Amino acid sequence: MTFEQMWADLAPVGRSDATGGYLRQPFTAAEEEAQAWFAAECARRDLTVVTDAFGNHVAWWGSPTPDDRGVLTGSHLDSVRQGGAYDGPLGVVSAFAAVDLLRSRGFEPSRPIGIASFREEEGSRFPLACLGSRLATGILAWDDARELRDRDGVALADVVPGPDARPDAAGWLDHVGAFVELHVEQGRALADVDRPVGVASMIWPHGRYRLDFTGRPDHAGTTRMEDRHDPMLTYAMTVLAANKQARLSGQRATFGRVEVDPGSTNGIPGRVTGWLDARAESPEALEALVDAIARQAGDRADRDGTAVRLTAESVSGAVSFDAALARRLAEPRGWPVLPTQAGHDAGILSGAGVPTAMLFVRNPTGVSHSPEEHAPVEDCLAGVEALADVLEDLAR
């Protein structure tokens, strides 16, 4: 099975014929089909698959123990809504291809090598990214997660067994001595320096915040403009303020989801809920950014006769990847070392104390979380070779 064959097999799973975008939300038919593909590729290579209480799969070449820990690679197969083909799957397909390459080189690892498929990395169904790795590492307690609900009201506990049913919960973590996640780059830094592969230095701190704007529902025609308490107006001005604030400070602020109640063309809404995704180079800069947006939203609400309430749904601190490991991988090979603004399971494992590194594969346009996300096949193959070299280095 070549990289290209695996890529072609996985490509149609969850892809919309109309847009070319992917919808692989965890524990839905499309994502389960991708996990079945994962299981088949593991079986083809005689890897031993462990599935934990949260649905994460870890497949081993060799038999790790807490005293003989393995080197884990892999990524995720779930997608954002209308996502691209590469975010997640590139790391999983490359992992299988790297194992194949190592075997064709006749490499006999002295430490086990594993491939992970984490669940709900994107937080596209349940309202928290990296849910599978957070639960497996204990960074998120099951009792705080079991009642997380998707937009249809389905609870997480309805779709995964959880540690009550599976006391071995996530024992695989004790078998991991290092984690290396390969990922498509989600920006243009590698294109700018004209290199196919790079190593991550850190992940920017980032958070998801819900802003509830409330006003007075009213008639769109008969209500004079000066008599309105229109939360849509407050919301719209907040979007503009967030954009300006992020531009001025060199940070990132995005409203990518909004709900309007009741949502009538001929009615002023009573409530608008917008979700802010904010990211910044330091925790202080993130706090300053969100505070500034909240303050401007409040000022605008006062002017509009509306109200706004901000709730932090999740905040992820800065991740500094293992600097010695990054140097060990990057220096001899001349790979650039760069920060990323995207969250990853690698950040969670790093936070749990696992020595962790990330490899990025060039994305010429930087477009991601979009059907246009792309990496040329030559760069993907360079990524496979880079990953194989890293695994060989760490499992020798």
Binding residues vs ligand GLV (CB under 6 A): 122, 129, 342-343
Q: How far apart are CB 88 and Mn ion at their closest, in Å?
A: 5
Q: How far apart are CB 89 and ligand GLV at their closest, in Å?
A: 13
- Select from ligand GLV, Mn ion, none the partner in contact with residue 198, using the beta carbon and a kind-dependent cut-off of 5 to 8 Å: none
Contact 180, 296 (CB under 8 A): no
Q: How far apart are CB 303 and ligand GLV at their closest, in Å?
A: 32
Q: How far apart are CB 208 and Mn ion at their closest, in Å?
A: 13
Which x/- pattern over 311-350 shows residues binding Mn ion (rule: CB under 5 A)?
-------------------------------xx-------
Contact 62, 70 (CB under 8 A): yes
Q: How far apart are CB 86 and ligand GLV at their closest, in Å?
A: 11
The smaller minimum CB distance to ligand GLV, of residues 122 and 379, is found at 122
The smaller minimum CB distance to Mn ion, of residues 188 and 244, is found at 188
- Select from ligand GLV, Mn ion, none the partner in contact with residue 112, using the beta carbon and a kind-dependent cut-off of 5 to 8 Å: none
- Select from ligand GLV, Mn ion, none the partner in contact with residue 88, using the beta carbon and a kind-dependent cut-off of 5 to 8 Å: Mn ion
Q: Which of residues 70-109 bind Mn ion (CB under 5 A)?
A: 87-88
The smaller minimum CB distance to Mn ion, of residues 120 and 304, is found at 120
Q: State the number of binding residues for Mn ion (CB under 5 A).
A: 4
Q: How far apart are CB 278 and Mn ion at their closest, in Å?
A: 16
The smaller minimum CB distance to ligand GLV, of residues 98 and 129, is found at 129
Q: How far apart are CB 122 and ligand GLV at their closest, in Å?
A: 6
304 binds Mn ion (CB under 5 A): no
- Select from ligand GLV, Mn ion, none the partner in contact with residue 53, using the beta carbon and a kind-dependent cut-off of 5 to 8 Å: none
The smaller minimum CB distance to ligand GLV, of residues 297 and 342, is found at 342
First to last CA, the chain: 24
- Select from ligand GLV, Mn ion, none the partner in contact with residue 379, using the beta carbon and a kind-dependent cut-off of 5 to 8 Å: none
Three-state secondary structure string covering the chain: CCHHHHHHHHCCCCECCCCCCECCCCCCHHHHHHHHHHHHHHHHCCCEEEECCCCCEEEEECCCECCECEEEEEEECCCCCCECCCCCHHHHHHHHHHHHHHHHCCCCCCCCEEEEEECCCCCCCCCCCCHHHHHHHCCCCHHHHCCCECCCCCEHHHHCCHHHHCCCCCHHHHHEEEEEEEEECCCCHHHHHCCCEEEEEEECCEEEEEEEEECCCEECCCCCHHHCCCHHHHHHHHHHHHHHHHHHHCCEEEEEEEEEECCCCCEECCEEEEEEEEECCCHHHHHHHHHHHHHHHHHHHHHHCCEEEEEEEEEECCEECCHHHHHHHHHHHCCCEEEECCCCHHHHHHHCCCCEEEEEECCCCCCCCCCCCCCCHHHHHHHHHHHHHHHHHHHC
Q: How far apart are CB 87 and ligand GLV at their closest, in Å?
A: 6
The smaller minimum CB distance to Mn ion, of residues 6 and 129, is found at 129
The smaller minimum CB distance to ligand GLV, of residues 112 and 343, is found at 343
- Select from Mn ion, ligand GLV, none the partner in contact with residue 203, using the beta carbon and a kind-dependent cut-off of 5 to 8 Å: none
The smaller minimum CB distance to Mn ion, of residues 69 and 369, is found at 369
Nearest alpha carbon to residue 180 among 247, 111, 243: 111
User: How many angstroms separate the CA atoms of 346 and 41, rounded?
Assistant: 22
Q: Which residues bind Mn ion (CB under 5 A)?
A: 87-88, 342-343
